[in-house]
Amino acid sequence: MIQTDIIIIGAGPVGLFTVFEAGLLKLKCHLIDSLPQAGGQCSEIYPKKPIYDIPGFPSVLAGELIDNLMEQAAPFKPGFTLGEAAMTIEKTADDKFIVTTVKGTKHEAPIVMIAGGLGVFEPRKPPIENLGAYEDKGVEYIIKDPTFYQDKRVVIAGGGDSALDWSIFLAERKIAKEVVLVHRSSSFRGHLDSVQKVIDMAGKGEIILVTEAEVTGIKGANNVEQIVITHQKDGEIIRNTDHFIPLFGLKPSLGPIADWGLEIDKNAIKVNTLDYSTNIPGIYAIGDVNTYENKLKLILCGFHEGTLAVQSAFARIHPDKKNILKYTTVNGVQGF
């Protein structure tokens, strides 16, 4: 049994920063994440993309932000259970919680903070019969490291920001040797700037744009070698390619947390904005996973929520102690 003060479910940016804020109050944290690495969406979906709205950082790569948050949390020696989804929660006789993962690892603490973001990641997949047979053999649903596509032929499908941005990135930086963007409509859902840029690049032959068409088949002995594009007017087109990357977004799914008796509204956990507590005393929800009036799914908002939630957690754990706010500039950071 792993014992700690606060179990944090989700090691995304919000969970990681909460370790730091809890540490300042001398509360120890243990993080559980279903992914094999910390960082949540930042590490899993867009590690090489710059973020421009983290206070004090005019620009920071999402992966760098996670490295920095890990460094900032390090003095407080957080524990990690990675690669295991939190499945069940139960209450003990002495008012603690036991959270058990899919692999049976048990964690006990008086406080649980759910920082589960979008939940367990599940990409939306196109309905292609043999798609599963090519997963990790040329079919990827997330671009983790663009250099993986160096000098490769790539077919991206989708009409949102991800599909547009990655097509531009891989073609403009001359990473992939051929970028084909396939979209079922002639209009895109992404930012107008990105749409215009793709159209301009297609005009110059830097991106091959195929609209009003869908990828309907994959061929290859073992790995992806060809894809079948079905065009609404021209019928089937076969293209040789090394990679097929459908970027249709992630299906938000709270996963097992949805069955924990928490008040849920549209796949998110309802909280009291006083301290981001849920309807179950001792359980808090912070970051993208929660919902309240005027909620913004931004990293900086999650940082604020985690900071207030640990203050409330402190009061629950130490009802007889008064916590006085101390600036880090005055007190420094006293690790464990």
Ligand X SMILES: Cc1cc2nc3c(=O)[nH]c(=O)nc-3n(C[C@H](O)[C@H](O)[C@H](O)COP(=O)(O)OP(=O)(O)OC[C@H]3O[C@@H](n4cnc5c(N)ncnc54)[C@H](O)[C@@H]3O)c2cc1C
Query: Which residues of this chain interact with ligand X, rule CB under 6 A?
Result: 9-15, 32-35, 40-42, 45-46, 51, 53, 85-86, 115-121, 255-257, 287-289, 297-300, 302
Q: How many other C-beta atoms lie within 10 A of the C-beta of residue 330?
A: 6
Instruction: Give 32 or 283: the residue with its C-beta nearer to ligand X.
Output: 32
- Find the shortest distance in angstroms from Cβ 150 to ligand X: 22
Instruction: Give 128 or 285: the residue with its C-beta nearer to ligand X.
Output: 285
Instruction: Give 264 or 300: the residue with its C-beta nearer to ligand X.
Output: 300
Cα 297 from chain centroid (whole Å): 12
Instruction: Give 162 or 241: the residue with its C-beta nearer to ligand X.
Output: 162
Instruction: Give 99 or 207: the residue with its C-beta nearer to ligand X.
Output: 99
- Find the shortest distance in angstroms from Cβ 126 to ligand X: 19
Instruction: Give 45 or 164: the residue with its C-beta nearer to ligand X.
Output: 45
Instruction: Give 208 or 308: the residue with its C-beta nearer to ligand X.
Output: 308
Buried b (16+ CB within 10 A) or exposed e, 144-156: eebeebeebbbbb
- Find the shortest distance in angstroms from Cβ 106 to ligand X: 14
- Find the shortest distance in angstroms from Cβ 121 to ligand X: 6
- Find the shortest distance in angstroms from Cβ 175 to ligand X: 18
Residue matched to tokens 């983790």: 144
C-alpha distances in Å from residue 39, one per residue of 30, 65, 115, 128, 183: 15, 9, 11, 31, 30
Closest residue to ligand X, based on beta-carbon distance: 117
- Find the shortest distance in angstroms from Cβ 38 to ligand X: 8
Instruction: Give 75 or 83: the residue with its C-beta nearer to ligand X.
Output: 83
- Find the shortest distance in angstroms from Cβ 55 to ligand X: 10
- Find the shortest distance in angstroms from Cβ 207 to ligand X: 19
Q: What is the CA radius of gyration of the chain?
A: 23
Instruction: Give 25 or 257: the residue with its C-beta nearer to ligand X.
Output: 257
- Find the shortest distance in angstroms from Cβ 1 to ligand X: 18
